[in-house]
Amino acid sequence: MPPRQLPSKFCRFQAPAWSRTYSSAPRVSLAYDLHEPAKPSSNAPGAIIFMHGLFGSKKNNRSISKALARDLGRPVYAVDLRNHGDSPHNPHHDYVSMAADVAGFIDEHKLKNTTLIGHSMGAKTAMTLALKLPEIIHDIVSVDNAPLDAALLSNFGKYIQGMRRIEEAGVTKQAEADHILKDYEESLPIRQFLLGNLYQARDKKTKTFKVPLKVLASALDNLGDFPFKNPGEVRFEKPALFVRGTKSKYIPDEALPIIGQFFPRFELADIDAGHWVISEQPEAFRQVVVEFLKPNE
Nearest to 52 by CA among 75, 81, 86: 81
Contact 250, 144 (CB under 8 A): yes
Bridge partners, 11 (sequence order): 34
Question: Does 65 qualify as catalytic in the annotation?
Answer: no
DSSP per position, 24-48: -SSSPPPPEEEEE-SS--SS--S-E
Q: What is the CA radius of gyration of the chain?
A: 19
SS3 138: strand
Catalytic-labelled residue, pool 35, 52, 275, 279: 275
Question: Does 275 qualify as catalytic in the annotation?
Answer: yes
Q: Which residues of 247-261 are buried (b: 16+ CB within 10 A; e: fewer)?
A: ebebbeeebeeebbe
Half-sphere exposure of 34 (CA within 13 A, CB side): 14
Tell me the C-alpha distance between 83 and 86, whole Å.
Answer: 8
Nearest to 283 by CA among 293, 268, 273: 273
Catalytic-labelled residue, pool 120, 142, 248, 279: 120
SS3 49: strand
**Looking at the annotation, which residues are catalytic?**
120, 275
